[in-house]
Structure 1
Amino acid sequence: MTENFHFLVAESEGPEDREARRQSVGRSSGETYADTLRELAPGAVCDHLKPAEESSPVQRPEVLARYDAVFLCGSPLHVYEDTPETRRVLDFMRAVFASGTPSFGSCAGLQVAVAAAGGTVGPREEGNEAGFARRITPTEEGRGHPLLHGRPWAFDAPAIHSDEVKALPRGAVLLATNGASTVQAAEIRSGNGVFWGVQYHPELTLHEVSQALRRQADTLVAQRFALDLEAVEHHAVRIDALAREPDRRDLAWQLGLDRQVTDTAQRRTELRNFIRHMAEPRRARRKASEFA
């Protein structure tokens, strides 16, 4: 009998943002991640940690080494700001690298790994990439990388971010890019660890995308993504309708989306690939060492 996966989910939303998200979609970013991981790997045990808010024995490399994988969630955290919260999160990521446990992150999770390994993150000059990242294109290295196995030569994905990777750390591999952000996917190696990350959100449902747009409606109007709040709401309503009926061809056409986004399995491609190629071998090695 195969033992269940043992994952650690690290979320860095502040208490107010976490509560606002729960009020909006019923769960925090970490809870979304855990639910998604349990759907991809039934029976997986998902422990939770809030490294921006707390120090814990779990954050020691020797304890992190007991996990099959660590997942870093999206967050409003700006890793280039020197605050107690960012210092704690970056220290946590360095401990993850030191532990040798494979890790995966989306959005701010990618940015945390980049900064912890010596790269640079900063605000997007053009404002948010809001709703969906368009025409993400694997690089030459990305086309042969297992993270993007199953993705076409260009695809869209849920994306909501105002910061971006400005420079990858030394030795990192750029795996995908688009016209909005140069780094859309990357592999980072630091210390004993390997991190796979994306700037977009393979863990999100379409309903979570629509609610994120609603929460950021004022910003989207200020940045001229929409003429007014009513226009943001109209856009969100169509995304919600597509979430309820993902086979609605008319809605997919109006929103400019295909099954890379509307089909749940295809939307989660990178998470599934990470579990298969990184977490599964880690679990096998961990079990073998226990019986050695």
Structure 2
Amino acid sequence: MTRLLVIDGYDTGGKTLLKGAGATQAGELYKKMLSDFLPSDQIDIAEISLAQAVDIDLSQYDGVCWTGSNLFFSEKDEVVQRHIDLCKQLFDAGIPQFGSCWAAQLAANTAGGAVTANPKGREFGVARKIGLTDAGKAHPMYKGKPPIFDGFTSHSDHITTMPETGTRLAGNSFSPVQAVEVKFSNGEFWAVQYHPEYDFSEIAALTVVRQDGLISQGTFRDSAAVEDFVSELRALNDDDSREDIAWKLGLDTDLRNQSIKTLEVRNWLSHFFNI
């Protein structure tokens, strides 16, 4: 029986903001996605970004998944170091790792790469035209995935230097590194910069959380534009037949078809655990 651990990357402040906007907590959202592939009672959640970190018996778990986070490598502190230390322990233990967004940055940083703030600002909502590299096209994480696709996203840090033992699997014009495989010590970490666990409702909630910064950087013209975007996303989430909204916002099947959207997760589970 495969047991997985989900590491919720958000600290107390981040969790409060998510709750206030009606977003699902990151750990629960990841567990929900993984529950499409194995029973939920085989998936635990650990929160390591709180004031008092939890003790984790890694020997209980076959694999570990990392959620996104409101932390920044460009603002490194002792909590960020806590993530790095745990990631290193998992690499040393040879436990397969997978994750979204923060996870890709964590994998690269832990193995000797570099993560900095993106001068373009926050890539938000949809990461457009993510293209697989030659290595990505041949990689088992992307078996069955179109060579160019969109993904839900929200990040302002990005990987700027790959570690020597890392492979860039995908990128786009906003962030050249959109997916990585990192082999380090005794372990292997597959990670994407985007969020296969998100849906339209979660992006709507995150828009509310991030609206001030998004208006400031020009992603939205004003608060009225934010309100319109949030309203349309929630309407499409409630009624997937709203082709008018999907067409207007440029939302294709790679975001609307759950099996395509989460294919990377399924491939990770299949490769390491035969699930």
Moved more, 191-200 or 15-24: 15-24
Q: CA RMSD in A?
A: 1.5
| C-alpha distance in structure 1 between counterparts of 2:108 and 2:222, whole Å | 35
Please, which of 74, 80, 86 is the counterpart of residue 86 of structure 1? Answer: 80
In structure 2, what is the equivalent of residue 74 of structure 1?
Answer: 68
In structure 1, what is the equivalent of residue 58 of structure 2?
Answer: 64
In structure 2, what is the equivalent of residue 23 of structure 1?
Answer: 20
In structure 2, what is the equivalent of residue 128 of structure 1?
Answer: 122
> CA 1:19–1:279 in 2, change beyond 3 Å: closer, same or farther?
farther
Please, which of 131, 134, 138 is the counterpart of residue 132 of structure 2? Answer: 138
> CA 1:164–1:15 in 2, change beyond 3 Å: closer, same or farther?
same
> CA 1:98–1:65 in 2, change beyond 3 Å: closer, same or farther?
farther
Determine whether 1:175 maps to 2:172.
Answer: no
CA contact (8 A) 2:5 2:45 kept: yes
Please, which of 195, 218, 227 is the counterpart of residue 233 of structure 1? Answer: 227
Instruction: After superposition, give the CA deviation of every residue in 1:110-159 in whole Å (9 maximum; x if it has no partner).
Output: 11111111110010101010100000000001011111122112100100
Moved more, 47-56 or 253-262: 47-56
In structure 2, what is the equivalent of residue 285 of structure 1?
Answer: none
In structure 1, what is the equivalent of residue 6 of structure 2?
Answer: 9
| C-alpha distance in structure 2 between counterparts of 1:119 and 1:260, whole Å | 30
Please, which of 197, 206, 216 is the counterpart of residue 212 of structure 1? Answer: 206
| C-alpha distance in structure 2 between counterparts of 1:279 and 1:80, whole Å | 34
Please, which of 102, 116, 121 is the counterpart of residue 96 of structure 2? Answer: 102
CA contact (8 A) 2:87 2:110 kept: yes
Length-normalised TM-score, structure 2? 0.95
In structure 2, what is the equivalent of residue 284 of structure 1?
Answer: none
Matches within 5 A, 1:142-181: 142-181=136-175
SS across alignment from 1:40? coil
In structure 2, what is the equivalent of residue 193 of structure 1?
Answer: 187
Determine whether 1:265 maps to 2:259.
Answer: yes
| C-alpha distance in structure 2 between counterparts of 1:148 and 1:248, whole Å | 29
Instruction: After superposition, give the CA deviation of every residue in 1:213-254 in whole Å (9 maximum; x if it has no partner).
Output: 111111111001111011011112111111112232221111
| C-alpha distance in structure 2 between counterparts of 1:140 and 1:65, whole Å | 35
Query: Segments of 4+ in structure 1 off by > 4 A?
Result: none
SS across alignment from 1:202? coil
| C-alpha distance in structure 2 between counterparts of 1:38 and 1:152, whole Å | 24
Instruction: After superposition, give the CA deviation of every residue in 1:166-224 in whole Å (9 maximum; x if it has no partner).
Output: 11111211110101101001100111110000000001121001110111111111001
The one-letter code of the counterpart of 1:46 is: I
Shift of 1:43: 4.2
Determine whether 1:51 maps to 2:45.
Answer: no
| C-alpha distance in structure 1 between counterparts of 2:250 and 2:24, whole Å | 28
Determine whether 1:202 maps to 2:199.
Answer: no
| C-alpha distance in structure 2 between counterparts of 1:126 and 1:154, whole Å | 22
In structure 2, what is the equivalent of residue 288 of structure 1?
Answer: none
Aligned residue pairs: how many?
A: 274
Instruction: After superposition, give the CA deviation of every residue in 1:98-121 in whole Å (9 maximum; x if it has no partner).
Output: 111100010111111111111100
The one-letter code of the counterpart of 2:134 is: E
The one-letter code of the counterpart of 1:108 is: W
| C-alpha distance in structure 2 between counterparts of 1:103 and 1:271, whole Å | 11
CA contact (8 A) 1:243 1:262 kept: no
Length-normalised TM-score, structure 1? 0.89
The one-letter code of the counterpart of 1:165 is: I
In structure 2, what is the equivalent of residue 39 of structure 1?
Answer: 36
| C-alpha distance in structure 2 between counterparts of 1:241 and 1:215, whole Å | 19
Instruction: After superposition, give the CA deviation of every residue in 1:59-112 in whole Å (9 maximum; x if it has no partner).
Output: xxxx42431210111011112433111111110110111111100010111111
| C-alpha distance in structure 1 between counterparts of 2:204 and 2:240, whole Å | 14
| C-alpha distance in structure 2 between counterparts of 1:243 and 1:255, whole Å | 13
